[in-house]
A = this chain, B = another copy of it.
Amino acid sequence: MVINSMEQQFLTWLDTRLAQQTQDETGIGDDCAVMHSLPKSSHVISTDIIVDQVHFDVSRHSPHMVGRKAIAVNLSDIAAMGASPDYAVVSLVIPMHWNLTQVQELYEGLLQLATEFNTDIIGGDFNRHEGPLTISVTIMGHQTSDGLKYRNTAIVGDDIYVTGPLGGSILGHHLLFTPRIEIGLELSLHNSVRAMTDITDGLVIDLHSLLNAHQGALLYADSIPLRSEIKADPNALTRALYDGEDFELLFTASPQFTPADLTSNNHRDIYKLGVIRNEEGISLEDSNANITKLTLHGYEH
């Protein structure tokens, strides 16, 4: 407790605001939050820190959008494990000149998405400084041990899928995307789904992170779904391959898997765009069956 009227006002507001949301034992205010442990579950944890001028621009993006993104990027990591989110802790470092309304708007952005995905915010930290707005979120989630999806479990011959169109996220999607929790949970039920991650640094580099030693991948240029905002862009395909922060799930599945196996409507947005091979490197096959090797580089945050 720092005796500082703006912080006190914020914490008082937060206490009331979170009381509507939180089901935990202690609420905000003790030295630690207490989590209820879930029997027969594996627990997963993800942490991401986002900073003004690196991951967003406070001169152009509203506090609400920035708060929303801070929790969305973490929920995307939980989705990439095929897990359900349960709890979050949120640390803020606010610019000294910010007022209470701005902090509240930021927190409302966080809370809106947290509530949508049944995530209780159970703790945090609050500081002010002369530097940039900085938000650190840590999320805990759970899944059965069998249901968890890892990166390093792809097998040669697996098909490669993505849960939505790619490229041009910087035009707005990177702030407004919906974390793919629902489809991640549905994919977790299928043993034929093998390796999974979310696309944060770009399709090519994140696909590379799924490959084990001596594995490679072939992507079909015509099958890579392009986000509508970039379809007219002459570099659309390159952007879909290399732009970051798509936050779609990228996964491999055995040939037995087909999106029609999914019971929800989610399969409408699932695209098969390649295959895991036993030849190292990632290559692209165009409509004339010409194959070119892709360079490995990604999006720099």
Chain A residues engaging chain B, CB cutoff 8 angstroms:
1-4, 26, 29-38, 41-49, 51, 53-55, 77-78, 80-81, 83, 87, 89-93, 122-125, 127-132, 134, 136, 138, 140-141, 148, 150-152, 197-198, 201, 205-206, 209, 296-301
CB-CB under 8 A from A55, the residues of chain B are 127
Indicate how many identical chains form the complex: 2
Complex alpha-carbon distance, A119 and B32, angstroms: 16
A31 contact set on B, CB distance < 8 A: 46, 77-78, 80-81, 151, 197-198
Contacts of A131 in B (CB 8 A): 51, 53, 131-132, 134
> Shortest Cβ distance from A238 into chain B, in angstroms?
16
Complex contact A47–B138 (CB within 8 A): yes
Task: Find chain B residues with CB under 8 A from A141 CB.
Answer: 32
Task: Answer whether A123 and B37 are a contact pair too, CB < 8 Å, given A3-B298, A198-B31.
Answer: no
A48 to B78, CA, bound (A): 21
In the complex the two chains form, what is the Cα distance from A121 to B299 in whole Å? 26
In the bound assembly, the distance between CA atoms of A251 and B140 in angstroms comes to: 30
Q: Whole-angstrom distance from the CB of A122 to the nearest CB of chain B?
A: 7
Do the beta carbons of B129 and A51 come within 8 Å of each other?
yes
Pairwise interchain contact A151-B42, C-beta atoms closer than 8 A: no
Whole-angstrom CA separation of A91 from B48 in the bound complex: 7
**Known contacts A47-B124, A91-B136; can you find 9 more A-B pairs with CB under 8 A?**
A4-B300, A29-B151, A30-B197, A31-B151, A37-B38, A47-B125, A47-B138, A49-B92, A53-B131
Q: Is the CB of A201 within 8 A of B138?
A: no
Considering the chains assembled together, what is the distance between the CA atoms of A138 and B136 in angstroms?
10
Least CB distance from A271 to B in Å reads: 20
Whole-angstrom CA separation of A86 from B222 in the bound complex: 48
Chain B residues with Cβ below 8 Å from A48 are 91, 125
Q: Which of B45, B87, B89, B209 contacts A1 (CB 8 A)?
A: B209
Q: Nearest chain-B residue to A249 (Cβ)? A: B31
Q: Are B43 and A35 in contact (CB under 8 A)?
A: yes
CB distance from A201 to the nearest CB of B (A): 5
**Minimal beta-carbon separation of A98 from chain B (angstroms):** 15
- Please, how many angstroms separate the alpha-carbon atoms of A196 and B150 in the complex? 40
When C-beta atoms are compared, the residue in chain B nearest to A299 turns out to be B2
